[in-house]
Amino acid sequence: MGHLSISHIYRQFANAPDKVDITGAQMVLVMKLTGFCWNVYDGRLKQEDLADFQKERALLQLPGLLDFTGFVLYFPSLFAGPSFDFVDYQRWITTTMFDLPQGTDPRHAPRTRKQRKIPRSGTPAVFKALAGLLWIFLFLKFSAWYNTELVLSSPYMNYRLLRRIWILAMLGFTTRMKYYGVWHLTEGACILSGLGYKGIDPQTGRARWNRLENVNPWGIETAQNTRAYLESWNKNTNNWLRNYMYLRVTPKGKRPGFRATLATFVTSAFWHGFYPGYYLSFLLAAFLQTVAKNFRRHVRPFFLTPDGQRPTKHKIYYDVASYLTTQLAFCFTTAPFVLLTLSASLLVWSRVYFYAVIGTAASMAFFASPGKSWLIRQQNARQKDFKWMQQQKQQQQAVSPGLKLEHPIMGGGLPSDPGKELDDAVREIKEEVEIRKKKGMSVSMPKGADMKAAVGRKIGREL
């Protein structure tokens, strides 16, 4: 990380786009080497002290020099990623990655060439390559219309606010196209070598090639919350940050909180370089993610049934609002990541009136106020009413099928235990019959409609 930082500083001060930049390859190496160190460390710990993801990646023995060098310098992902752990490389080299799961019919195994164990990967690799070339072509076209020069120019302020926000969103989309293209090409190369293999799809029975998928454009452009957005972007870097930073700074036995989130985003910014724009983006993103968690935890339940199992008829409005909010918030948040400098970032933010900063701050203030407690009370009351209604339905179903109640449940109109009330009424009728028999009266136990009428008179309502 120290050597990478020196290269970042040199690149920043040299500011020479026409020169060869090695920081991209160094960033990939940092992910591989730090992950490798943690895997070796986990291999020295007791198994019972490890989480599942640690057990899967722990290295009990150091690999040979040749294997280690091949892992570090794996060419298809050397310059732009994706990154991966040594265990994946080891399973690929030993071809154990391609073993069929137990119970799988060998006839359903993916096709291979001659004696090779690696399934045929030419077709999915070509599709990835074509998709990558298409994204790069679109980037070249869109970058002529939406670029940093436009949002920094004076004519940009001639547009209305909504148009300026739209241009800012399109600038972010255009920038993402470049990464979509590069990552699709590198993933295609990994698939062609076989390292992208991820077993057999149990539904289709076909080989899956998404082990090293680094980006999901559809998932990003349709994301309705920060989690879906971030999980679809730079996936392998997110895995690295989650497994070797987010979960590592969290004390054992506790859930990760805001501190872990902030530490992870700051580390990500430090790893990217020292341009102020990186730190503006990742710092705001940390607060944005915390706000999103609060909304999902305390607001979203009101658009679901009280048991949380089904959406209400108003859920569509929440989905639309969350989609627009997520996309607009991230196009604002990621602008400094593109602009890089502090002055340019603050200038563009000011031209859209810092709307995401204000919205995030207002949301943080609300959830730190009694408003959060009020939402919790409303949720609890809603769930309490739902549970009461469920209990009433169960009690109503407990009534004898032959004694159908004509009146629906109306607040306190039905006793808490109608089955017991009916049993008591029948018992009282029996006692009265026995008393009359002892007095010498000729009576018998009522049956059918007579019994129903007698019980109704006892409980004070018609059955």
So which residues are the catalytic ones? 272
Alpha helix stretches (DSSP H) within 352-402: 355-367, 370-398
Q: How many CA atoms lie within 13 A of 173 on its CB side?
A: 16
List Cβ neighbours of 283 (8 Å cut-off, separation of 6 or more): 262, 265, 266, 269
User: CA 15, CA 6: separation in Å to the nearest integer?
Assistant: 14
- Give the three-class secondary structure for 207: strand
Q: Which residues contact 385 (CB under 8 A, 6 or more apart)?
A: 306
List, in sequence order, the alpha helices (H) in 2-147: 2-14, 23-43, 52-57, 65-72, 86-93, 122-142
Q: Which contiguous run of DSSP H or E holds residue 171? A: helix 161-193
- Is 208:98 a contact under the CB 8 Å cutoff? no
Gap between the Cα atoms of 268 and 241, Å rounded = 7
Place of tokens 């500011």: 15
Angle at alpha carbon of residue 375, lines to 369 and 378, rounded to 5°:
145
Q: Which residue has the tokens 């859920």?
A: 315
**Residue 448 structure tokens:** 């059918």
Q: Say if residues 1 and 30 touch (Cβ distance below 8 Å).
A: yes
Q: Are 202 and 361 in contact (CB under 8 A)?
A: no
CA distance 98 to 103: 15
Cβ contacts of 358 within 8 Å, gap of 6 or more: none
| Contact between 168 and 151 (Cβ < 8 Å) | yes
